[in-house]
Structure 1
Amino acid sequence: MTTDDLKRAARVLRAELAEQGVDLSHARALELVAHQAGYKDWNVAAARSTPSSTVGLGAPVPVLRMVDVERTRAFYLGFLGFAVEFEHRFEPGLPLYLRVERDGARLDLSEHHGDGTPGSVVWIPVADVRALQRELLATGYTHMRPGIDDDAPGGPTLEVIDPAQNVLRFAEVPR
């Protein structure tokens, strides 16, 4: 854990206890989080935990190949409920590059030769896979009625296949 992770845990602990009427100082919350992480106290935790990166890496954004823009839009926007974050063409008639987003999950979809490989697989964590399944079935999308694999290695998983044969696996991660 990084020092920032420990500080974030202390803020969450204080906020949750405050909701229950328990007042806890920030310093005490840091001490409790340090003990939970296996350190003697906050000073030891701060000295020994992984320093936070100054590089600032963000979450990766997979680039998936698309071969039919209209079918791809119907799948990602209509069926899966993503929204367009941006789209780009160098000029009319040239390949489309499209970013879609939903709840912080971002995917880039590209018609450009060399971007992505049809048939790629993307694993996406989801809080409630059954709620997602109900939502998808309610869209009336006629090309797919996804089920849930309760025995998948990443947790209960709903799998869908886009028009370019890219596989999206929505897996419910344990809390």
Structure 2
Amino acid sequence: MDQNFTVSAKTAVRTLRRDLAALGLDVNHSAALELLAHQAGFRDWNTATASATGPAGQLGAPVPVLRVQDGAAALEFYTAVLGFTCLWEHRFEPDLPLYARVRRDDAELDLSEHCGDGTPGTAVWVPVRDVRELRRELSPRLDPRQFPGVEDDAPGGPTTTVLDPFGNSLRSCER
């Protein structure tokens, strides 16, 4: 099963619930997850998500945690400027710090206002197929003073770096 099953499945569940509601059928989120798992050939949702992670002990892709001081500004930057999609947001209470996950293509990042999460100024290496194309896409939305050109002689291959408003570096590198 695809590693991205749970993310795409949750999107599919929202669509399923909306479409069923338009037909006058009210299905709660949990029941919709079970229906989707059955359609994919699994006994239940827990079995479907367990199979998405692979065999016991198999590692999945890591998700870096970036420390941000302003969750709203971070989500605005990562979505509107960098083109990520917010997968989910969490707060233990309305006035407590934000913890959110964003995704663009295969890259997932967690953004956290929690003091103990992440270190300000973290660098994350992000592989890209065409670093120059990414730079062309992002250039109109970024301050040119903080968005250098492409370093062709970088150790991992041609690289460009984006700084977020909190000093974290996203180093996009073409292998």
Which TM-score band applies after superposition, normalised by the shorter structure?
0.5 to 0.7
Within 5 Å, give how 1:37-52 maps onto structure 2. Answer: none
Out of 77, 87, 110, the residue aligned to residue 108 of structure 1 is 110
The answer for the alignment partner of 1:73 in structure 2 is 75
C-alpha distance in structure 2 between counterparts of 1:117 and 1:169, whole Å: 16
Relative to structure 1, the CA distance from residue 145 to residue 119 in structure 2 (aligned partners, 3 Å threshold; closer, same or farther) is closer
**Percent of paired sites with the same residue:** 58
Q: Counterpart in 1 of 2:6?
A: none
Deviations 1:148-170 (A, max 9, x none): 11110010001011111011100
Alignment of 1:81-160 (within 5 A): 81-139=83-141, 141-142=142-143, 144-160=146-162
TM superposition shift of 1:53: 5.9
The equivalent residue for 1:41 is none
**C-alpha RMSD of matched pairs (Å):** 1.7
Counterparts of 1:102 and 1:114, CA distance in 2 = 25
Residue equivalent to 1:60: 62
Runs of 4+ in 1 over 4 A off after TM superposition: none
Q: 1:167 aligns with which of 166, 169, 173?
A: 169
Structure of higher CA gyration radius: 1
Q: How many angstroms apart in 2 are the aligned matches of 1:75 and 1:130?
A: 20
TM-score (norm 1): 0.64
Given the two structures, how large is their TM-score scaled by the length of structure 2?
Answer: 0.64
Q: Which deviations, in whole Å up to 9, do the C-alpha atoms of 1:49-97 show, x marking residues without a partner?
A: xxx9642310000101001223312321111100001110011110000
Residue 35 of structure 2: aligned partner: none
